[in-house]
Copies of this chain bind each other. A is one copy, B any other.
Amino acid sequence: MVSKNELKLITSLQQKKCRDREGVFIAEGPKIIQDFINAGASLVKLLSLKGQFDGISVKVEVDPKTLKKISGLKTPNTAFAIFKKFPESKITRTGLSLCLDGIQDPGNLGTIIRLADWFGVSQIICSEHTVDCYNPKVVQATMGSLARVSLHYTDLAPYLKQHTPIVYGGFMNGASIYETQLPKDAILVMGNEGNGISSEIERLIDTKVSIPNMGSGQTESLNVASATAILLSEFKRSTGK
């Protein structure tokens, strides 16, 4: 059984301020919940239909009606979990780091976190106006990668000023990424979906890079997650692990 007050609290976790206050995030669906458990995430509460996650002490069996009430998805899943947020790790200064200057779409951030995990980029530094990485839509899109990539929210300008590696930025009018010498230690900055990298941050970029348009030239831009995929691939291909 879940009390009315508990239901109210759980529903409130769709909002950032409530997640921040409680220090938790939510995930829906047995596959993604299992991914987070396997990755060592700390489970606070698990609400699920009968016959799933048996043996988990914090599991509460609920009916489909209750899941429907708390779900943020169009089609509620069979399990809903509350996890503790991951502890903040220290920012490292070696290897390739990703900086996000105002990514707004949760699906894009989720995809980018998954890409970082794939390419062994262990940290992502986000501007304060980047969408919350614990937003339920981000969590769903990361497919568990959120447990393996550490995200930091900070004022990007001071961070970039004090940082030593060369700062690259994804622009429409930069040098071809295919013809740019790329180092192992670097920061790659990607900008907002509509406006790109802000002018304040643009001043702190050492080298602007682009993905050459090989089509008719009428396509305005690539989706930021697609562009991040290609740029990360190029950094990793040309510098090796």
A residues apposed to B, CB below 8 Å: 38-39, 107, 111, 114-121, 141, 143-145, 148, 178, 211, 213-216, 218-220, 222-223, 225-227, 229-230, 233-234, 236-237, 241
**Contact: A143 with B229, CB < 8 Å?**
no
| Given A115-B226, A225-B226, A226-B115: A233 in contact with B211 (beta carbons within 8 A) | yes
Q: Which residues of B contact A225 (CB under 8 A)?
A: 111, 223, 225-226
Per assembly, the copies of the chain total 2
Q: How far in angstroms is the closest Cβ of chain B from A64? A: 23
Of all chain B residues, the one with the shortest Cβ separation from A236 is: B214
Q: How far in angstroms is the closest Cβ of chain B from A28? A: 17
Q: What's the Cα separation between A120 and B114 when bound, in Å?
A: 27
**Contact: A114 with B222, CB < 8 Å?**
yes
Q: What's the Cα separation between A38 and B107 when bound, in Å?
A: 28
Q: What's the Cα separation between A117 and B218 when bound, in Å?
A: 9
Contact of A229 among B120, B214, B226 (CB under 8 A): B226
Q: Which residues of B contact A111 (CB under 8 A)?
A: 223, 225-226
Contact of A230 among B121, B144, B216, B233 (CB under 8 A): B233
Of all chain B residues, the one with the shortest Cβ separation from A179 is: B237
27 A-B pairs whose Cβ atoms sit less than 8 Å apart in the complex: A107-B107, A111-B223, A111-B225, A114-B223, A115-B226, A116-B215, A117-B219, A118-B211, A118-B213, A118-B215, A118-B222, A119-B214, A119-B215, A120-B214, A120-B215, A141-B223, A143-B220, A145-B219, A214-B241, A222-B229, A225-B225, A225-B226, A226-B226, A227-B229, A229-B230, A230-B233, A233-B234
